Homo-oligomer: A and B are copies of this chain.
Amino acid sequence: MQNWQPLEGSLTTPRGFRASTAAAGIKKGGGPDLVLLFTDAPEAVTSGVFTRNLAAAAPVIVSREHLSRTRGRCRAVVANSGNANACTGRAGLRVAQETARATAELLNIQPEQVLVASTGVIGVPLPLDLIVSQLPALVQNLSPQGGADVARAIMTTDTVPKSCVLRSERGGTAVHLAGVAKGAGMIHPRMATMLAFITTDLGIGPRMLQDSLLAAVKTSFNCLTVDGDTSTNDTVLALASGLSGVAAHPGNDSPKWFREGLTQLCQTLAQMIARDGEGAKKLVTVEVYGARGPSDADRIARAIANSPLVKTAVAGNDPNWGRIMCAAGYSGARFDPYKTDIRINGFYLCRKGLDAGFDEAAARQEFDRKDVTLRLDLHQGQGTARIWTCDFTRDYIDINASYRT
């Protein structure tokens, strides 16, 4: 069993995938905003995890239904940026359904084999004709090199495209895993977060793919917060072509091996999202050790990662550890503040609940990095947790005070 290694490539690096992008005029400011991803493998297996927001967007409702109706046998994804097609009622549902139907006709597959995803402004009708008029060109332009442009075409307030490709071998045969993601605001760990599309050429059954995806999402995208707002459109889709010649089977180590690769891929993408959080200058990792149990650790890590006061202090290089203790204190977890140590990148700010007597300039220097780890040791038990977030700057306010207009 070989480890998964990073590889140059794109979403179409795994065998059996083609993609194309277009500028449909949906995203303000222009640029590519429409994506088609297609697998040539008729036996491809697909899986998805979606937002738990009650006001789920039309594409979420439609994709969830298509995955269920085909029992995980979809073959195409159409995604747009610039408009979420959320809070758009029956008209919005029709746009999502018609997008799938028109795409299926051109690809000569069933409508329910097409998944749809949208991201952008909420509550504004998504013009169907802008999408449908681009579909023939998108189908015609499908290419095994097309994956390179996908990550950029699904960006909204993201400042960098986010993609990751991994490679491993089984019995001398290469297997690939690739993923793209978008997301910078309206991101919260309680749910499957933002848009992410994942491809692999591993052969795998629908049940095992879904189980692997749920497990990977739990320790990656669901450990991510930018602003505590859970979107209406969060969607993670995984497509497996099976064309590598390697298949995962229950009963040997292959499910574990695949899950490890998928988790590594999703964690890499999740960190990219946190680092590119709206207005963010830093990736902040919150680690909690020694809690009474995993749920206490999780509560504390999430309270700290969601605290605007902690995140503004990180932005200002202010070693204000009292805010970290305060957030832990209101998290609902049980612990003894006077047994707790707080460190930044291994540098002690607080020992047993009291100021560690640190050098202010040295502490500020620890905060003044692109990667900051806040670590709490509670010394109460074995519970651990890790959450990714970012600092909170004026730019977040500027971006969001005028997002719509």
Contacts and interface: CB of A to CB of B under 8 A. Distances in A.
A123 interface: yes
Interface residues of A, number: 68
Interface in A305-319: 306-309, 312-313, 315-316, 318-319
Contacts of A318: 401-405
A341 B1 CA distance: 56
Interface in A365-405: 392-394, 396-398, 400-405
Contacts of A293: none
Contact of A308 (B86, B228, B327, B353): B228
Contacts of A392: 397
Contact of A312 (B188, B326, B400): B400
B354 A87 contact: yes
Nearest to A54: B329
A341 B39 CA distance: 42
A209 to B, nearest CB: 27
B401 A313 contact: yes
Nearest to A397: B394
Interface in A221-235: 227-232
Contacts of A329: 53-56, 230, 232
A125 B125 CA distance: 57
Contacts of A398: 394
A350 B123 contact: yes
A320 interface: yes
B312 A54 contact: no
B402 A53 contact: no
24 contacts: A52-B330, A53-B330, A55-B326, A55-B328, A55-B329, A88-B354, A122-B325, A122-B326, A123-B320, A123-B325, A123-B350, A185-B309, A186-B326, A188-B330, A228-B307, A229-B323, A230-B329, A230-B330, A232-B322, A232-B329, A318-B405, A320-B403, A320-B404, A393-B397
Given A89-B353, A230-B330, A315-B401, 20 more contacts: A53-B330, A55-B326, A55-B328, A87-B321, A87-B322, A87-B350, A87-B353, A88-B354, A89-B338, A122-B320, A122-B325, A123-B320, A123-B321, A227-B308, A229-B326, A231-B326, A232-B325, A309-B400, A313-B403, A396-B397
A interface majority secondary structure: loop
Nearest to A327: B229
Interface string A321-354: 1110111111001110110000000000010011
A190 interface: yes
A21 to B, nearest CB: 25
A121 interface: yes
A237 interface: no
A166 interface: no
A400 B322 contact: no
Contacts of A52: 330
Contacts of A54: 328-330, 333-335, 337
Contacts of A333: 54
A124 interface: yes
A126 interface: no
Contacts of A309: 185-186, 227, 229, 400
A232 B315 contact: no
A89 B338 CA distance: 7
Most buried by B among A54, A231, A360: A54
A355 interface: yes
